[in-house]
Structure 1
């Protein structure tokens, strides 16, 4: 009796699951999809070429240093970089003295040795980049209730992350005049509005983003190498820098891959010749019914 009840219960669960699957599939196939502004006017990131692209790509260290400068002078006012240490800047071509000087130019959390109270102090090479806010509550209060995300892994957390960051930084538009393939947003969705505290950006998933345009004018930073600091150039440089922060071993991984592929190819050829050498003297047994050679 117990076995029969168990079988019936199992069949009941199976029937319910199948019924839910059939109803869901039928609803998906027959329900009319209502177009939304987010679906129709969210655009893919614009393609850009970087020196680290491709199987033979390498870092452009001057570009990474320029990107770090953009982050320091523009992005660090709101965004943290908590997974990157000042000592990691040596990988960008900075000398030990320059790394120490850069670290000392930042204020990091510390403790007053006399009173024991929380304070700030100049950074050292062993410190990590500090957050601009003491906690998420303070960050939200300063940014229209939106907590600015940490940028350490941003290009790994977004599809086409490097191009996404670059496109987002340069993608702020006027929703009243924005169009895709000749179709204007306001003509297709006349009720679409950007709230006063938000900003229209078609590269952002829901079109309205809390972050104000961070790059507002050419020459916002002054590059030491003389590169013209246009908005496009600054966005390209900082997106390359954030690609390095997200995966500093990117180029090393590519360079390691080629010897590994070469070894695997050599091992495959060696195994094939070994197989031919070992089994060459062994003749297959004739089976009954085989035609004589």
Structure 2
């Protein structure tokens, strides 16, 4: 008899401990609310970025993607890699084979000297991927205030509200608000970091990459304001993260149309088969 009761007793004891733990947690949350933090109070949600690829039927704006590529090459590529993107994929942006080959040639990619077997570099080929910026993490940290610049290939997928986050971050650098320093006097941005309310911890090692209008000169003549450059690089990084976005949207539309037609045919068959049957 005692053996039969051991199992239920242990189970009841386990449930009791769980309920006690839950009650203690709820009581602490009600009587001792979490202290306000500077991040919780001054962190901002990304501003919405309206670009052509948004929505269920979004499509890429090739001209904007080309401008974004230009911003990446002239501004971002000094620190950030695109290790998952091949040069030949740039043909999807509207470039010819010759233009892709010329673009790839402007990059040096790791290679092996066939005569000595030693490491070397060579001009990029369309089949190559964008090369890494730093040979290893130690070199990356040494050049960036002990922070590793993230690869941007999948950045819009890795961050919530990806393109909006990137756009807001690039245009959000500012001086710390006086209200923040009054309420949290010990939260002064440390030397070497930069205040940005769109970054989770408010302070990041990356200096503002877009510092002035006309920092790049767009080939299509579009005015290169800071706001425009930020939009263009965000749109470009949507493409690097999901280059087949348009095909996925088209496939989804075709599937929806097929389901609607099939549903209509099935309903018509149902009405025809059961037409003479009285309920």
Common fold by TM > 0.5 = yes
Q: Partner residue of 2:123?
A: 122
Cα distance in structure 2, aligned partners of 1:137 and 1:4: 61
Q: Partner residue of 1:258?
A: 253
Cα distance in structure 1, aligned partners of 2:4 and 2:122: 72
Residue 214 of structure 1 is aligned with which of 194, 201, 209? 209
Q: Partner residue of 1:103?
A: 104
Is the 8 Å Cα contact of residues 181 and 188 (structure 2) preserved in structure 1? no
Residue 201 of structure 1 is aligned with which of 196, 201, 214? 196
Cα shift at 1:25: 2.3
TM-score norm. by structure 2 comes to 0.94
Cα distance in structure 2, aligned partners of 1:25 and 1:168: 36
2:4 aligned with 1:16, yes or no?
Answer: no
Q: Partner residue of 2:51?
A: 50
Cα distance in structure 2, aligned partners of 1:3 and 1:82: 62
Q: Partner residue of 1:154?
A: 155
Q: Secondary structure at the match of 2:215?
A: coil
Q: Partner residue of 2:227?
A: 232
Cα distance in structure 1, aligned partners of 2:122 and 2:10: 67
Unaligned ranges ≥5, structure 2? none
Cα distance in structure 2, aligned partners of 1:27 and 1:265: 53
Q: Partner residue of 1:190?
A: 185
**Structure 1 residues 191-215: Cα deviation after superposition (integer angstroms, max 9, x where no partner):** 3210001100011011000101111
Is the 8 Å Cα contact of residues 47 and 168 (structure 2) preserved in structure 1? yes
TM-score norm. by structure 1 comes to 0.90
2:2 aligned with 1:7, yes or no?
Answer: no
Q: Secondary structure at the match of 1:108?
A: strand
Q: Partner residue of 1:82?
A: 83
Cα distance in structure 2, aligned partners of 1:28 and 1:207: 26
Q: Partner residue of 1:112?
A: 113
**Structure 1 residues 247-290: Cα deviation after superposition (integer angstroms, max 9, x where no partner):** 11222222222222111111111111111122223334xxxxxx
Q: Secondary structure at the match of 2:21?
A: helix
Q: Partner residue of 2:265?
A: 270
Q: Secondary structure at the match of 1:81?
A: coil
Cα distance in structure 2, aligned partners of 1:32 and 1:57: 44
Cα distance in structure 2, aligned partners of 1:14 and 1:108: 61
Q: Secondary structure at the match of 1:144?
A: coil
Cα shift at 1:13: 2.3
Q: Report the more deviating stretch, 132-141 or 9-18.
A: 9-18
Q: Partner residue of 1:172?
A: 173
2:62 aligned with 1:61, yes or no?
Answer: yes
Cα shift at 1:33: 2.6
Unaligned ranges ≥5, structure 1? 285-293
Q: Report the more deviating stretch, 48-57 or 157-166.
A: 48-57
Cα shift at 1:185: 1.9
CA RMSD of aligned residues (A): 1.6
Q: Report the more deviating stretch, 244-253 or 149-158.
A: 244-253
Q: Secondary structure at the match of 2:66?
A: helix
Q: Partner residue of 1:283?
A: 278
Q: Partner residue of 2:240?
A: 245
Cα shift at 1:3: 4.4
Kindly report structure 1 stretches of 4+ aligned residues shifted beyond 4 Å. Answer: none
